[in-house]
Structure 1
């Protein structure tokens, strides 16, 4: 089992316990004082799992095996990837995929429909053009964007639940599930841990955070989860919320970006323009029960902007959001009132929509 190194330290700044109101609290039975933990670099990000249940160390191996299996099936440009095969057969024929990949693509299609295209699973031709986050990232010409933009249309993705097939109707179309895959895999890891008998754990897939169960220290205590400062390195919190069995997903303009002539272009692409989203939002954190939902919704709200994004999230059951604007103001949905706490000295200010 690998030891936790410096790459894991930021998480320690984010996760704490909300149990100070309980005097002489009794430790939960069958919990270890120090969690079983492992950190691996997968899918281009640092993945850390921590399990607190006594005797459940082997659950880490099972969970990491599941991550690797899904990553191999989903990664677009990896040889043998099912999603890559779907893209290769665009405009030619449907491709049969495994149940997990079909489920992921179904989620992506659902959120594409639900957000009216603010999130679009067929954004592949545009993300490949910019390739932000990779060594060959560049700002494409307007002509290049104009040529590829007509290929971005989630309505041209056909799913057959009976045959478990995926078909892209036009040649050169391409799925890009990067905006939802980590959330899906996070949820699958949680399911795997539960099947192994784990009741208390922290799952961190490079920004997709899930806190399973209550605090390992005190009965019925909640985790104090940090909301990522989108302008700082991973693990720097601008605020906190107490949560149990919830996921927190943050997207921000400084997470991955391309800088050209002094202008920053974020990695999240607007499927309507072919350019990265460009509004007053600097970051969005989604708090919900399923990480796959948090992934898709954080992208969709960037397209909708602060006001429409707030309205969109308020209509979602069991879903809350923290919006951070470029002028360092923080807006929260109604369910976070009296729960969200701004970190002292963070440089941010709470604000409300008029």
Structure 2
């Protein structure tokens, strides 16, 4: 059995790398720096980078990273003292009162679980622990192990008390796992910190959750130029680009984390119904929307639906667009991106 190491994850997390740049002439109307204030840290198992272009706002970087570390300590599974771990530890025993931040995130996770009819399930923790893809002890479980784990996965059993802000898992060994939306939630909270400190031109990158705030610093009212990486190549090889401003782009893909067992690759996007990775013709999905938590949740939901159903789902929603890359190197975009997405890699084919 082979598995990709944590350092492979470090550089390829979320596979479809989003490369952000400005275009055009420098805008003299705003007071911006030629080189952004930038800080990079390795947090939550991934690379976090924030760039601020507003002059005199370097100190805001500290506030932004303080907020990231505060939320990560509350949310991260298997983090000593995290609120999610406390809820999991009391499964089958008693409800646990959580902070406003965690309660808000858990209610959002329930909403995504419900809207996806369980293809996204906030209680998938027992299954992700069983496979443990992305860690050194990743393995393909025995069928009997999967069969005994599936009954523990049921978001509908999670009990909320809105007055007490408490959460209860009624079965022992049930486990919450918010990895599919945690970074999106934290990204949005960082953007709130930036806006509260009058930062209006910035890039936030939480391991592939990209948020571009304001307009490109190189031209008045110019959009950022966002490149989408070729998922089958090393970092820096893009297959296309699109203009974006005040929006987020989030990606789910089979190349993010995986294990190889007897010549078969098993990716980390697990189906709560079967206990195995989702099987369809998609290599990756990138979601463009206004909030990163929505991008996170929807990227998993839409990936689970496959190409046709995923496209139909996106085209019926407002303020949500998507780029689909299939295993045969075809690229499909939702209706709202047909005029703006530009494919620049001849190895791929843009389909209507």
Q: Same fold (TM over 0.5)?
A: yes
Tell me: CA distance 1:136–1:273, structure 2 relative to 1, closer, same or farther (3 Å): same
Give the structure 1 partner of residue 106 of structure 2.
Answer: 105
C-alpha separation between the residues in 2 aligned to 1:62 and 1:25? 27
Give the structure 2 partner of residue 3 of structure 1.
Answer: none
Three-state SS of the structure 1 residue aligned to 2:22 is: strand
Q: 1:14 aligns with which of 16, 19, 42?
A: 19
Three-state SS of the structure 1 residue aligned to 2:93 is: coil
1:258 lines up with 2:259 in the alignment? yes
Q: CA deviation at 1:229?
A: 2.5
Kindly report which structure 2 residues correspond to 1:77-156, keeping only aligned pairs within 5 A, or say none: 77-156=78-157
Q: CA deviation at 1:17?
A: 2.2
C-alpha separation between the residues in 1 aligned to 2:98 and 2:237? 39
Tell me: CA distance 1:169–1:142, structure 2 relative to 1, closer, same or farther (3 Å): same
Q: CA deviation at 1:348?
A: 0.9
Three-state SS of the structure 2 residue aligned to 1:41 is: strand
1:184 lines up with 2:185 in the alignment? yes
Native 8 Å contact 2:18 2:210 kept in 1: no
Kindly report which structure 2 residues correspond to 1:290-329, keeping only aligned pairs within 5 A, or say none: 290-329=291-330
C-alpha separation between the residues in 2 aligned to 1:335 and 1:241? 11
C-alpha separation between the residues in 2 aligned to 1:288 and 1:90? 34
Q: Which runs of 5+ in 2 are unaligned?
A: 1-9
Give the structure 1 partner of residue 351 of structure 2.
Answer: 351
Three-state SS of the structure 1 residue aligned to 2:336 is: helix
Number of residue pairs aligned between Structure 1 and Structure 2:
341
Structure with the larger RCO, 1 or 2 (CA within 8 Å, 6+ apart): 2
Native 8 Å contact 1:231 1:252 kept in 2: no
Q: Give deviations 1:24-66, integer Å, cap 9, x for gaps.
A: 6643421000000000000000000000000000000000000
Native 8 Å contact 1:27 1:217 kept in 2: no
Q: CA deviation at 1:234?
A: 4.5
Three-state SS of the structure 2 residue aligned to 1:317 is: coil
Tell me: CA distance 1:266–1:328, structure 2 relative to 1, closer, same or farther (3 Å): same
Q: CA deviation at 1:149?
A: 0.4
C-alpha separation between the residues in 2 aligned to 1:121 and 1:164? 17
C-alpha separation between the residues in 1 aligned to 2:138 and 2:17? 32
Tell me: CA distance 1:168–1:12, structure 2 relative to 1, closer, same or farther (3 Å): closer
C-alpha separation between the residues in 2 aligned to 1:235 and 1:208? 16
Tell me: CA distance 1:26–1:48, structure 2 relative to 1, closer, same or farther (3 Å): closer
Three-state SS of the structure 2 residue aligned to 1:163 is: coil
Residues 105-114 or 233-242, more deviating: 233-242
Tell me: CA distance 1:289–1:139, structure 2 relative to 1, closer, same or farther (3 Å): same
C-alpha separation between the residues in 1 aligned to 2:262 and 2:16? 33
Give the structure 1 partner of residue 70 of structure 2.
Answer: 69
Q: CA deviation at 1:243?
A: 0.6
Q: CA deviation at 1:218?
A: 1.0
Give the structure 2 partner of residue 54 of structure 1.
Answer: 55
Tell me: CA distance 1:44–1:12, structure 2 relative to 1, closer, same or farther (3 Å): closer
Native 8 Å contact 2:307 2:324 kept in 1: yes
C-alpha separation between the residues in 1 aligned to 2:31 and 2:216? 13
Native 8 Å contact 1:74 1:82 kept in 2: yes
Q: CA deviation at 1:235?
A: 4.3
Q: Which runs of 5+ in 1 are unaligned?
A: 1-5
C-alpha separation between the residues in 1 aligned to 2:122 and 2:201? 33
Native 8 Å contact 1:267 1:276 kept in 2: yes
C-alpha separation between the residues in 1 aligned to 2:18 and 2:132? 31
Q: CA deviation at 1:158?
A: 1.4
Q: CA deviation at 1:141?
A: 0.3
Give the RMSD, CA atoms, in angstroms: 1.9
Q: Give deviations 1:132-168, integer Å, cap 9, x for gaps.
A: 0000000000000000001111101112221111111
C-alpha separation between the residues in 2 aligned to 1:7 and 1:193? 26
